[in-house]
Amino acid sequence: MSDIDSTTVTAPQRILMGPGPSDVDPRVLAALSAPTVGHLDPYFLQVMDELQSMLRQVFRTENELTLAVSGTGSAGMEACVVNLIEPGDRMLIGVNGVFGTRMADVAGRAGAEVTTIERPFGEVFDADEVAAAIEQTQPKVVGLVHAETSTGALQPIEEISKVVHDAGALLLLDTVTSLGGLPVEVDGWQVDAVYSGTQKCLSCPPGLAPVSFSPAALGAMDARKTKVASWYLDMSMVRNYWGGNRAYHHTAPINMNYALHEALRLVLAEGLENRFARHRRNHLALRAGLEALGIHYAVPEVHRLPQLNAVLIPDGVDDAAVRKQLLNEFGLEIGGGLGPMAGKTWRIGLMGAASTNRNVLLLLAGLERCLADQGISVDRGAGVAAANGVYAAQA
């Protein structure tokens, strides 16, 4: 019958040190392939309840409306925007990378009157400039990216949140790359709508988007005069399935929710603070190793994400050739630059299960080999030695 000769899936075993997806623990893959049950099966309802409880712990929130949207991180972004925005609402968005740009696009499609403030890639916003822009535009919602996956920059939130709430606005935050890798304090920072992805520091395959909404965000949703633009992402219906009367909305991705359940269990079993410290430790070792190889960061030290190391590609080095060699010779994936950083930076992820001393040392060893093939002279073993030095000092 068939003219296709596709074989079964024979995926290679990579080491995922790009901007995501990250390495997945075998226990998460095992949960992913547990028997599928119905979306109203009592067992699945229990999985959903536990999942919500664990998500609240990871987001550090008491928000009742905390769940996993049935799409990837960008669906989480769209869910947050379209549920808060009605046509004509004003939204202020900080753009200092690809994902702020994306948020502005999503908001415009939802009918928002979008104002952006902009910073070059790699920089972050301070509270004063956000306050000035709020005063000018009087937005309903202010959208920011906590951890810009395209640049490796970490946006401080606490002070800005005060400015946003003093002006009576809602704060919407992208934590796709931060959640599980460094502190995300949804209640502590008074974040009103937050989304993340599963495939970064939570180390679950891509496919779901954890979200959480504050009581103030719920109030804004309840006060809507128009339907949410997206039926699929309409939280007024989705929340009835995750809580309340379990009314059927759409068929949940059962197995993906199993995987996220297990991934969150592993995050909490390790402990959030331990996990953040691990990400920091491996980042410091990688940094020392890269510097010993003559590779420098694209982001000022104070704003660097430990889990996503954006570094400048040394002059004369062929970006694509190095990434291809790392993949083919070592099964090792790192990311290229996005947007204006394409060809200029590498993005080296140390996210979740991929944030290990083994991966740091292997990458440095492999990179030394690739740089040598590119005719770049480096001290033999310098990267590995520097990283090992950091680990030794920490021990």
Site for its own copies, residues 282 to 321, rule: CB under 8 A = none
Q: Which of residues 149-188 bind its own copies (CB under 8 A)?
A: none
- Other CB atoms within a 10 A radius of the CB of residue 165 amount to 15
Answer for which of 116, 190, 230, 236 binds its own copies (CB under 8 A) is 230
Q: For its own copies, which is the closer residue by CB, 9 or 395?
A: 9
Beta carbon of residue 395, minimum distance to its own copies (angstroms, whole number)? 22
Burial of 6 (0-12, 13-18, 19+ CB in 10 A): exposed
Alpha-carbon distances of 260 from 134, 212, 263, 352, rounded to whole Å: 37, 15, 5, 13
If we measure between CA atoms, which residue out of 98, 93, 103, 99 comes closest to residue 125? Answer: 93
CB of 66 to its own copies, least distance (A): 13
Q: Which of 125, 195, 242, 258 binds its own copies (CB under 8 A)?
A: 258
Q: Is 197 in the site for its own copies (CB under 8 A)?
A: yes
Q: Judged by CB under 8 A, which stretch of 132-140, 162-170, 244-252, 376-384 contacts its own copies?
A: 244-252
Least gap, CB of 112 to its own copies (angstroms): 12
> CB 336 → its own copies: shortest distance, Å?
9
Task: Give the integer Cα–Cα distance in Å for 256 and 208.
Answer: 7
Sheet containing 113-118: which strands, arranged edge to edge?
Answer: 65-69, 209-213, 193-195, 170-174, 141-145, 90-95, 113-118
Residue 18 engages its own copies in binding (rule: CB under 8 A): yes
Number of residues that bind its own copies (CB under 8 A): 88
Q: How far is the CB of 48 from its own copies (least distance, A)?
A: 12
Asked if residue 86 binds its own copies (CB under 8 A), the reply is no
* Binds its own copies by CB under 8 A, chosen from 155, 199, 214, 325: 199
Out of 67, 153, 228, 363, the only residue in the binding site for its own copies (CB under 8 A) is 228
Please report, as residue ranges, which positions from 96 to 135 form the binding site for its own copies (by CB under 8 A): 102, 105-106, 108-110
Scanning 70-78, 118-126, 134-142, 362-370 for contacts with its own copies by CB under 8 A, the matching segment is: 70-78
Minimum distance, C-beta of residue 252 to its own copies, in the bound complex (Å): 7
Residue in 65, 68, 75, 144 binding its own copies, rule: CB under 8 A: 75
Continuous segment of H or E residues that includes residue 278: helix 272-292
For its own copies, the closer of residues 269 and 392 by Cβ is 269
The nearer residue to its own copies, 13 or 377, going by C-beta atoms, is: 13
Integer Cα distance of 10 and 277 in angstroms: 35
For residues 213 and 65, is the Cβ–Cβ distance under 8 A? yes
**The tokens of 162 are what?**
């005060």
Alpha carbons within 13 angstroms on the beta-carbon side of residue 342 total 4
Residue pair 345/148 in contact by the 8 Å Cβ criterion:
no
Nearest approach, Cβ of 388 to its own copies (angstroms)? 28
Amino acid at 181: G
User: What φ, ψ does residue 172 adopt, rounded to 5°?
Assistant: -110, 130
Report if residue 352 touches its own copies, rule: CB under 8 A: no
Task: Give 79 or 298: the residue with its C-beta nearer to its own copies.
Answer: 79
254 part of the interface to its own copies, by CB under 8 A: yes
Task: Please report how the helices 382-394 and 272-292 are oriented relative to each other, as an axis angle in degrees rounded to 10.
Answer: 150
Give least dist CB 361 to its own copies, A. Answer: 21
Indicate which single residue of 90, 165, 224, 265 sits in contact with its own copies (rule: CB under 8 A): 265
The smaller minimum CB distance to its own copies, of residues 121 and 258, is found at 258
Using CB under 8 A, which residues numbered 319 to 348 contact its own copies?
327, 333, 338
As measured in angstroms, the least distance from the Cβ of 276 to its own copies is 11
Residues 27-56 within binding reach of its own copies (CB under 8 A): 27, 29-39, 41-43, 47, 50, 53-54
Amino acid making up residue 239: R
The CB-of-158 to its own copies minimum distance in angstroms stands at 22
CA angle 204, 206, 212 (to 5 degrees): 80
Give the Cα separation of 100 and 263 in Å (integer).
27
Candidates 182, 178, 168; CA nearest to 144 is 178
Q: What is the DSSP string of 48-73?
A: HHHHHHHHHHHHT---SEEEEESS-H
